[in-house]
Chains A and B, each alone.
Chain A
Amino acid sequence: MAGAESGWSEKKVFDTEAASFLVKELRERFGSGRTRSHEWRVSQVKALLKAVVENEDKIVQALRFDLARPPLETLVYEIGMFKNSCEVILKELKHWMTPEKVKTSIATFPSSAEIVPEPLGVVLVISAWNYPILLSLDPVVGAIAAGNAVVLKPSEIAPASSSLLAELIGKYMDNSFIKVVEGAVDETTALLQQKWDKIFYTGNGKVGRIVMTAAAKNLTPVVLELGGKSPVVVDSNINLKVTARRIISGKWGLNNGQACISPDYVITTRDFAPKLVDVLKTELENCYGKNPLESEDLSRIVNSNHFARLSKLLNDDKVSGKIVYGGEKDEKNLRIAPTVLLDVPQDSLIMGEEIFGPLLPIVTVDKVEESIEVINSGTKPLAAYIFTNNKKFKEQFIKNVSAGGLLVNDTVLHLVVHTLPFGGVGESGMGAYHGKFSFDAFTHKKAVLYRSFAGDASLRYPPYTDTKLRLMKALIGGRIYDIIRALFRWS
């Protein structure tokens, strides 16, 4: 990747002073009002869309370099989803920008009111390495749609993608308002010390805390898209083949398990587990062949740190003998085969942290209803999945499991539906985006009340009297009868 290397060596040091200057410059430019017009926003969304469409091959290549990602996964998830986002924005933006008229009550009569959406100002988007293009551009396009100036900090752990993003945004976008800052911890720290109007962060809980703490100094609102252990509950009496394939597609079909909403672990009954394992084995072979380490259809592990982390989970004493499928590793090529473990103890390492890799532990319970308690004993995940045909159990699950999003009888798809808010709760994050929720995430909804000079009620003003008190009670209470009574007594 010659382009990435030469760009790297030319880079100046991006320190606190540079960050401060950058923000100051953007703020001044934002003050000009250019980004507020519908025309500007649409032109930028179209430009970003063009950038992606005209460079699909380069994007596929970058992801091959960063993650050995199969081209189809990149085209469908990163590029396809992003294109969809842009199209939704282009179609709906005018409507989203229109002030919303709201009802007023008798307490402020006569008056009219509306809610006016306005950009927050200068926002920072910090992206992650697993879907480096999508998780950079999707929030950025939301920020642009809302009329903000944006700084994007792509993840350095996906260097080819980071470099490509800098190149494409530099070439296609209005650089007066949209900038990319590449780098690692130092650059991110310098950026976090500045005063932003919003910070949008995708990543893990540890850094999420650092981001929010930095934001607190300037009272900057944040969206944190984090992760967690997304469970899949598998009931018996379901179409096992379809279930297994959907679990496979959501787990290994997404960056080989390195996705925030990948099914992390399975919960099923002791009796049913062997059946599930059998079908998983068959279907895994159908998808990835007998030698999954060689399969072109699986991403590799992103780097040696994560490879070591995942190996450690497999080497844990508590899970020795629990591997029922896979377990093969290729350290040189950073590949780990799809691996299924059966009956892992709750206190094993693999059950103590978000896996973010191709290992699928199955936890067994006596009765499937116990799965709710198992899930609720941990922190709230970003997603929770359930495969069941039992309506009552399904309803219980939906009512009692708190997660960012729930999906019944499938995995991951809710991510793609732009009419559903995508975000976490508790440890899995705060705030949401996708579709109109992206626009809202980067917008301030300003309340506006119009009053006239007609009809002033002297009862608002001193000197205060009991009569005024009575009338005021009636008015604020809004009960017509009381109002008439009070008025009548007054006159």
Chain B
Amino acid sequence: MDIEVEETVGELRQYFKTGKTKSVIWRKNQLTALLDLVHENEDAIFKALHQDLGKHPVEAYRDEIGAVEKSANNSLSCVEKWMAPKKSNIPLLFQPAKGEVLSEPLGVVLIFSSWNFPIMLALDPLIGAISAGNVVVIKPSEQAPACSSFLANTIPLYLDSNAIKVIEGGAHVCEQLLLQKWDKIFFTGSPRVASIVMSAAAKNLTPVTLELGGKCPAILDSLPKPSDFKLAVKRIVGGKWGPCSGQACIGIDYLLVEEKFSSALIELLKKIIRRFYGENPKESKVISRIVNKQHFKRLCNLLKDPLVANSIVHGGSVDEENLFIEPTILLDPPLDSPIMTEEIFGSLLPIITVNKIQGSIEFINARPKPLAIYAFTKDETFKRQILSETSSGSVVFNDTMVQFLCDSLPFGGVGQSGIGRYHGKYSFDTFSHEKAVMHRNLILEIEPRYPPWSNFKLEFLRLAYRLNYFGLLLHMLGFKLGLIRRT
């Protein structure tokens, strides 16, 4: 297996050298083939996602299949435009000259996908890598085995298997992969593993994009209009338990609200949870389950601390056999408990009350920069304050999650929530090298460029650097420019 990995990478590098993946036709063919793959295997994908995570087809479509289709279609229609050289202006001094920036593929890239959106987080980066003309190895997460298997079996049937390979496996395979020399590594997952990936990448000076997570807070300001308040809470419920039962990098981790609104909030949350998921959420079939025993135990442990357990105001029941934890709300658990210091990544929603809602900014800033901040407010000043005083991958006002649907917005983290970004053209860029190209010709020489040096040449170059063309002209004509010496 170890030699296989090395050989595979060698083969990919040879194929890349042939230049086949650089052609726009190849890229478009692959993107089209990917669309076919998704269209023709929708049911198989639904089945795999249901098996791995208990995802409902609507959720699977909304969060995974739909997103991939949209991304592939967008890339298909834009790739030629993205590939076109971008002209740069060259100052008059260097004329005749032409400047441009050419995007070229980095070469052989490695994509590590995560288990919570196992189809999308493998195929969306793949779309970027293909659009940019690279050859790719995808390593799907072994914690979503049905999806990993699906990808390994289906991708070779549709895509150019000389250029795009799926390598399945666990920690050992990851280690083997990280020993190879890549031109880019794209990783989606936890900060702990990201650090390992980046250290390995450092050995070969391989650039990385790390899509991580963090504790994404939702701020709920006072919304006097009942319909606004109801809508906000609806969106919060949708943004917490909707995506993979809270196991999402941009899912809401915890909620900040002013003390005086907390009871009304909790009442409404309970009502909406009941409406969405019925009296018995476990039977509802519309919430995903927890991915595996390890994460199930981890989440249960978060609730073990008596002070934390005492803060539960709704839910709390768990079913180990079915790996199900019902939507659970906590009110003001201790801030130093793991549930408030680690990314939850599950169906537990702590509500933290503050005296005044503006205090939520300080609260957020005392913690690592999250991937997203959600703020429900109509107060324009508060909005501006949040924007200028906090830092996060993204900010969404009055909704949750939807920023990932917007192709024109870069999707990525900052600080502990990640390095780099993708989606739309950013995907293309993240897998490209932007090569600067300048054209000059061999006539019209600037003599003062060359030694032996003299004061004349010095003065010439001073003026040239300041693009002081008139001064240059005077200088060349022999006028002394003592007045324009040092400004």
Residues of A within 8 A of B (CB): 31, 33, 36, 53, 56, 70-72, 75-76, 80-81, 83-84, 87, 102-105, 107-108, 111, 113, 115-116, 118, 120-121, 197, 205, 208-209, 212-213, 215-219, 221, 224, 226, 238-239, 242-243, 245, 248-249, 253, 286-289, 295-297, 387, 389, 398, 400, 402-410, 413-414, 416-417, 419-422, 425-427, 429-432, 444-453, 456, 460-465, 468-469, 472-473, 476-478
Which of chain B's residues 49-80 have a Cβ closer than 8 Å to chain A?
Answer: 56-59, 61-62, 66-67, 69-70, 73
- Min CB–CB distance A397 → chain B (angstroms): 10
Which of B191, B235, B395, B486 interacts with A448 by CB under 8 Å? B395
Assembled-state Cα–Cα distance A70/B225 (Å): 73
Give the residue name and chain of the B residue nearest to A53 (CB): B486
Q: Hey, which chain B residues are within 8 Å of A289, CB to CB?
A: 452
Q: Is B99 an interface residue (CB 8 A)?
A: yes
Q: Is B106 an interface residue (CB 8 A)?
A: yes
Q: Hey, which chain B residues are within 8 Å of A31, CB to CB?
A: 365
Which of B202, B225, B408, B436 interacts with A209 by CB under 8 Å? B202
Residues of B within 8 A of A (CB): 19, 56-59, 61-62, 66-67, 69-70, 73, 88-91, 94, 99, 101-102, 104, 106-107, 183, 191, 194-195, 198-199, 201-203, 205, 207, 210, 212, 225, 227-228, 231-232, 234-235, 237-238, 242, 276-278, 284, 286-287, 365, 378, 387-389, 391-399, 402-403, 405-411, 414-416, 418-421, 433-443, 445, 449-453, 457-458, 461-462, 465-466, 486-487
Given contacts A405-B438, A417-B94, A417-B99, contact A103 B408 (CB under 8 A): yes
Additional A-B contact list (14), CB under 8 Å, known A108-B405, A463-B276: A36-B388, A71-B458, A102-B408, A205-B205, A216-B195, A289-B452, A400-B19, A407-B440, A420-B88, A421-B434, A448-B387, A453-B227, A460-B238, A478-B73
- Min CB–CB distance B384 → chain A (angstroms): 10
- Min CB–CB distance B287 → chain A (angstroms): 8
Assembled-state Cα–Cα distance A127/B112 (Å): 33
- Min CB–CB distance A105 → chain B (angstroms): 7
10 nearest A-B pairs in the assembled complex, by CB-CB distance: A464-B58, A216-B198, A212-B202, A405-B436, A80-B465, A447-B409, A447-B394, A476-B66, A451-B399, A102-B408
Q: Hey, which chain B residues are within 8 Å of A287, CB to CB?
A: 450-452
Give the residue name and chain of the A residue nearest to B192 (CB): A219
A-B contact pairs, 7 of them (CB 8 A): A87-B466, A104-B408, A111-B402, A111-B406, A205-B205, A448-B387, A449-B394
Q: Hey, which chain A residues are within 8 Å of B392, CB to CB?
A: 446
Given contacts A219-B191, A419-B99, contact A413 B438 (CB under 8 A): yes
B435 touching A425, Cβ below 8 Å:
yes
Q: Hey, which chain A residues are within 8 Å of B231, CB to CB?
A: 453, 456
A476 touching B406, Cβ below 8 Å:
no
- Min CB–CB distance A486 → chain B (angstroms): 13
B397 touching A449, Cβ below 8 Å:
yes
Q: Hey, which chain A residues are within 8 Å of B487, CB to CB?
A: 53
B409 touching A120, Cβ below 8 Å:
no
Q: Hey, which chain A residues are within 8 Å of B19, CB to CB?
A: 400
